[in-house]
Structure 1
Amino acid sequence: MTGRHEAAGHRGAGRGAGSDHEGAGHGAGGDHDAGTVPAAGDDARGDWTRRIARRSDERGATGGIPDLPPPAGLTAVAGVGHVRLSWSPVPDAVGYLVHRAPLRDGRPAGPFAPVDHQGGDVLAVPDTWYVDTTGEPGRPYAYAVAAVPEVTVTGALGDPVVAAAPPAADGPPPTVDVRVDAAAPGTPLHRPWQPMIGSERLSQLLCADTTGGREIGAELLAALRRVRAEVGVEAVRAHAILHDDLGVYREVDGRPVHDFTGVDRVYDLLLSAGLRPVVEIGFMPRDLARDPERTVFAYRGVISPPKDWDRWAELVRALVAHLLDRYGEAVLGWDFEVWNEANLEVFWAGTREEWMRLYEVTARAVKDVDDRIAVGGPSSAAAGWVDALLEHAARTGAPVDFVSTHTYGSPPLDLRPTLRRLGFPHARLLWTEWGVTPTHFHPVNDGASAATFLLGGMRSAAGRVDALSYWVASDHFEELGRPPRLLHGGFGLITVGGIAKPRYHALRMLARLGDTELPVRSCGDGADGLVQAWASRHADGGLAVLVWASTLDQSKRDGDPALARRVRLSVAGGPGGGVTVTRLDREHGDVTTLAGRLGVGDWPTDGQWDALRAADTLPAEPVEPDVAGGVATVELLVPQPGVVLVEFAPPGPTG
């Protein structure tokens, strides 16, 4: 099969391919404590729904995009409840798009279409394997895969491969053997979750209003302190530092007045929590906007280009100089990012050319203050405009210290080939937004399947990105209105009221991995795909091994018994100390399960708040491994979705 076609991403169900997207049948927000939708939130949601699917500019990159061949070596192996595909890598590919067609008489019957795992965003994946759980048990399919050189372009499909029909589950779960050599030298374990986390705009730290009876600013700060203390997160990226609610810019008698008092207040709070800001430079102050009525979100962030480019540059220089004066050379370690998702019309009222000008003017203004400060972009939706920005920078000399972009619903694409191809091999890669869904108020955000999604994405990104920033820390988040109830499908890792969701537990589990990654060998039905493992060793000799069962297929977010597996974890040369198991699944650490059993309504009663705290921690339980011939074996039943952290204590003192 030959030819190239558009859309490595999926544009379906009336949505755009970026972040923070429309509601999914849930209320767009609520008057605090009342569960009603405020007028501002309702208006914002309607505007969002009308405009989110429209791009600022549909064009891809302007230069030569490589015409990539399809991947070679495609195989498709059916297992209980799934088909695992694998293929050989294609140089210069940023990802791969899996296609499927029904069969008739052993041949494809109808066109191949991308497998839609319902992530709601880019469907291409960066790895050379894919697990399809969207098919019907007992029905065979034909598969083909294309390489993706740039997110708006998909290469030619390769020759199709027919997979045997995945059998239905009719017995005990299949067994996957996972083997770890504790004495292996290993390699440094990369932690893409640690550099950065997302947050609601930081002016909310100053908000004394309540949602669900909880003070917004105090709980948002508590959530940020918690991710710093328990996960080791180092920086926070948030929108709207130049929004008028912080009063940074106004014009008096036609002359600009800068006031960074509000910025100081929120950054002082953030730094007091041990976190530094990622300074997203936007939105536009109303008095500086060419069209101040063009806004986004319930809080009406202005998305217009400036009416005066010189005054915009002066504002950026003044901000950066002020931060250096107030916080000293620590600011040299901060990242300054230009705007947010200008490739979506809902976030940018100008043209692509005007945004490229905005980027260049802003980046040069930052560097005017101190050339050592890192600046980058395009901070785009769905990996868009990356090629275009780098081509612009190569042509004009505009500085790009890092490339930032966003995707949801799949692991982040591998943009290293793009950086090499366009002459920026040393630029850092920052995925400044990433998550299980781009959709506001989506139930997948609250349950255990999002935790296994997070683990798979972090495992995929380790070693090839500099930061993978989950969007966002807290459910105190009001882009389309304040939360109408406790479990409303909010983006937050932590609920209103401070209860950890399963995604937050997954981050805490990742934080318990050691600094040395150990090799893992797996075999059996579901190995290296449906079941994944990440093994590590601590400096004191203790071991931590994460094992999880997951699928990108969001139709399985409530679990599928056919995808459960029995895992036999064997560790050779282990430290010989005690062994504990920590579980995360729908029965362990899932606040949605517990809330359902308690009969929680929109907001918990005082007694229910107390009871919900049982979901806020994950207890570790001691187990006795079978030990023979220097190999310790632990048998685990891992449901889908489900995670198990197995920890081997370091050896005790000798002598």
Structure 2
Amino acid sequence: MTNDHLAETGHDARTDWDARIGVRRNESTAEKVVLPAPANLRCDAGRGQVTLDWNPVPGAIGYLVHRADGPDGPFVPVDHKSGDVLAVPHPPYADTTGTVGRTYFYAVAALSDIDAVGPLGEVVSAASQRDGEARVQVSVDAAADTGSLARPWSAMIGAEHLSHLLSTETTGGRPIGAELSEALTVTRRDLGVRTVRAHAILNDDVGVYREVDGRPVHDFTRVYEIYDRVLELGLRPIVELSFMPADLARDPSKTVFAYRAIISPPKDWDRWSQLISNLVTNLVDRYGVEEVRQWAFEVWNEANLDVFWSGSLDEYLRLYEVTARAVKAVDAGLKVGGPGSAAAAWNGELLAHTARTGAPIDFLSTHTYGSPPLDFRPLCERYDRPDLELLWTEWGVTPTHFNHISDSPFSAAFLLRGMRSAAGRIEALAYWVASDHFEELGRPPRLFHGGFGLLTVGNLRKPRYWALRALSRLGDHELPTLLAGDGAGSLVEAWSARHDDGRVAVLVWNGTLDQSKGDGSDELARHVRVEIAGLSGRAYRVSHRRIDHEHSNIRAIWDSHGGGDWPSETQWSRLHEANNFDAYEPERVIDATSGVVTDDFSLPMPGISLLELTPVE
């Protein structure tokens, strides 16, 4: 595909995407349970924010916070401008969307499924404040241990369709295949990522299926090239079984993306089943059954959106069952699941279908953007499947292409909030995606274009890469961490852990879900005091790194030097030299014979601080 042709098709794809992305299929076949409203709703007003808390409701996957101008309503969900799911998995919740000083009325509903919202409960009122101390205390016990630190970010990362790995073309003068390979290597090496999930392994550019004289011909040569490369990078694939080969499609004119992925159901279900069976058989033959058992096979992508599936819900459920049975017929130990849905939908529908038909399922997969992932453990228990793995195979700050917030420190604090929320209840929370080498709606038009990547074209580290890098520096032993003060636990959060060699790391961040504050808010800045007790009486070397608009923010460096579309070779070199996880202050050695270390610092919103204490002999 030439660059001129890609630009043309990218423009067409974006027009089509914008027209159809909001069209969600509302079909439902699952019985919905209505849960009671949460009890003991309470609120605490602070500077620029109102924090709401409530008692959890058994069976709830999440909660929807509503607000009104008066006690009698009308109550509408608080819109934090995510463009996707507004429900949150648990309290507390900080509302920063209102006018400071104005009194609002709040009520909360519990969800048993994404489209099963219960009644509103009791009403409380509060007004955020314009002034106040705006202080948060973080207390860490370094001598205690609450168990192993869960690392949902390290299980999986998203990537562009993996034939991109084989590309010899360039974007912005940079080699696509080589830089995408490097980006995936970075996520494995620096973030501990183990698997990669991508679209379109069955796309026609991979050439797996064609018909000759009306007879199917399968060719997995290019699949082998792709997966050989993935394994060489030290990763394993999550095989999203999509999209439909043209010769097998009922309607090959139904497409999505600049690379014209076909979203149609098959014209022949038996031939689809044979394709899946032969693909999986050949993967097992090439890589070995023990290896492929460590992969996972996901059936399609976001079929609940009109833009990704031209069939109905019933046809998707048929696709799932036919595909899952074909995978399992090769080897019962292979993992298969779905629905890989947008906006956390169709999970109950798939669970109800597998319960009714006996179709195999090993994991539940879904997506959301702009909020922490919901808690689908109660939904699985409702269908007597508490054993299912929960894989959020796409997740990020926004579902919108070319959104400036993707390049900003706001998304860094958002990633920490989501990963902390997911820890211990979700097997994988896959950030979408590793690299800005990405062409769903056309290739990147400039260096900073609001791309989905953790890394830019050229593999500069964005603020949210540094956020995940900070998480990866936490030790294996989670430490008790208590927060108190204005926005503690809702606006400002912390996560602490100890390494086996005695190093202690404390990660503190200040972030809201409210994307109208994406460029920052002085009223939401906080003064933080961290107290680390329980240290062994010795000296420690203390380092303090930070992420905010002025630090660890490569976009700000580019803009300060005039910006533009693409750097020159000299500018590339300077950007890479400046692309650091910035220090808050120089490292210092302190005496901790008292067993306690304290640190005081300002934390803007958005802002992140990482404190690391290393014992000094």
Q: TM-score range by the shorter chain?
A: over 0.9
CA distance in 1 between counterparts of 2:116 and 2:503 reads 46
**Does 1:126 pair with 2:94?**
no
Quick one: which of 22, 27, 49 aligns to 2:18? 49
Deviations 1:411-462 (A, max 9, x none): 0000000000012110000000000000011111001000000000000000
Give the residue type in structure 2 aligned to 1:54.
Answer: V
Quick one: which of 403, 420, 435 aligns to 2:396? 435
Q: Provide the secondary structure at the position in 2 that maps to 1:330.
A: helix
Quick one: which of 32, 45, 57 aligns to 1:90? 57
Runs (4+) off by over 6 Å: none
Query: Superposition pairs for residues 134-213 of structure 1, below 5 Å?
Result: 134-163=97-126, 165-169=127-131, 174-213=134-173
CA distance in 2 between counterparts of 1:628 and 1:102 reads 54
* Pairwise CA distance, 1:625: 5.6
* Pairwise CA distance, 1:574: 1.9
CA distance in 2 between counterparts of 1:565 and 1:87 reads 24
Could you tell me whether the CA contact under 8 Å between 1:625 and 1:633 is conserved in 2?
no
Q: Which residue does the alignment assign to 1:23?
A: none
CA distance in 2 between counterparts of 1:201 and 1:478 reads 9
Query: Between Structure 1 and Structure 2, how many residues are aligned?
Result: 612
CA distance in 2 between counterparts of 1:552 and 1:306 reads 40
CA distance in 1 between counterparts of 2:311 and 2:32 reads 25
Could you tell me whether the CA contact under 8 Å between 1:473 and 1:493 is conserved in 2?
yes
Give the residue type in structure 2 aligned to 1:87.
Answer: W
Could you tell me whether the CA contact under 8 Å between 1:95 and 1:148 is conserved in 2?
yes
**Does 1:268 pair with 2:228?**
yes
Quick one: which of 583, 605, 609 aligns to 1:640? 605
Q: Provide the secondary structure at the position in 2 that maps to 1:257.
A: strand
Deviations 1:30-63 (A, max 9, x none): 996x9x98210111111112221212x3123x23
**Does 1:378 pair with 2:362?**
no
Q: Which residue does the alignment assign to 1:11?
A: none
Deviations 1:67-94 (A, max 9, x none): 1111001111110111100000001110
Q: Provide the secondary structure at the position in 1 that maps to 2:45.
A: strand
Query: Superposition pairs for residues 212-611 of structure 1, below 5 Å?
Result: 212-328=172-288, 329-575=290-536, 576=538, 577-611=540-574
Select between 68-77 and 618-627 the one with higher mean Cα deviation.
618-627
CA distance in 1 between counterparts of 2:260 and 2:340 reads 20
CA distance in 2 between counterparts of 1:63 and 1:571 reads 49
Alignment gaps of 5+ in structure 1 = 1-29
Deviations 1:150-202 (A, max 9, x none): 10121101111011x21114x7x622111111101321110000110000000
Report the TM-score when normalising by structure 2: 0.97
* Pairwise CA distance, 1:251: 0.8
* Pairwise CA distance, 1:606: 2.2
* Pairwise CA distance, 1:142: 0.6
Q: Provide the secondary structure at the position in 2 that maps to 1:566.
A: strand
Deviations 1:449-490 (A, max 9, x none): 000000000000000000000000000000000000111001
CA 623–37 in structure 1, closer or farther in 2 if over 3 Å, else same: farther
Q: Provide the secondary structure at the position in 1 that maps to 2:615.
A: coil
Give the residue type in structure 2 aligned to 1:500.
Answer: R
Give the residue type in structure 1 aligned to 2:414.
Answer: F
Q: Provide the secondary structure at the position in 1 that maps to 2:293.
A: helix
CA distance in 2 between counterparts of 1:454 and 1:43 reads 31
CA 460–651 in structure 1, closer or farther in 2 if over 3 Å, else same: same
CA distance in 1 between counterparts of 2:180 and 2:91 reads 39
Could you tell me whether the CA contact under 8 Å between 1:571 and 1:631 is conserved in 2?
yes
Q: Which residue does the alignment assign to 1:38?
A: 7
Could you tell me whether the CA contact under 8 Å between 1:541 and 1:651 is conserved in 2?
no
Q: Which residue does the alignment assign to 1:67?
A: 34
Alignment gaps of 5+ in structure 2 = none
CA distance in 1 between counterparts of 2:336 and 2:296 reads 6
Q: Provide the secondary structure at the position in 1 that maps to 2:113.
A: coil
CA distance in 2 between counterparts of 1:134 and 1:63 reads 34
Could you tell me whether the CA contact under 8 Å between 2:547 and 2:582 is conserved in 1?
no
Q: Which residue does the alignment assign to 1:20?
A: none
Q: Provide the secondary structure at the position in 1 that maps to 2:205.
A: helix
Q: Provide the secondary structure at the position in 2 that maps to 1:503.
A: helix
RMSD across aligned positions (CA): 1.6
Q: Provide the secondary structure at the position in 2 that maps to 1:236.
A: strand
CA 624–82 in structure 1, closer or farther in 2 if over 3 Å, else same: farther
Q: What is the percent sequence identity of the aligned residues?
A: 58
Q: Provide the secondary structure at the position in 1 that maps to 2:390.
A: strand
Select between 474-483 and 110-119 the one with higher mean Cα deviation.
110-119
* Pairwise CA distance, 1:619: 4.1
Q: Provide the secondary structure at the position in 2 that maps to 1:649.
A: strand
Could you tell me whether the CA contact under 8 Å between 1:627 and 1:633 is conserved in 2?
no
Q: Which residue does the alignment assign to 2:74?
A: 111
* Pairwise CA distance, 1:626: 7.9
Give the residue type in structure 2 aligned to 1:38.
Answer: A
Report the TM-score when normalising by structure 1: 0.91
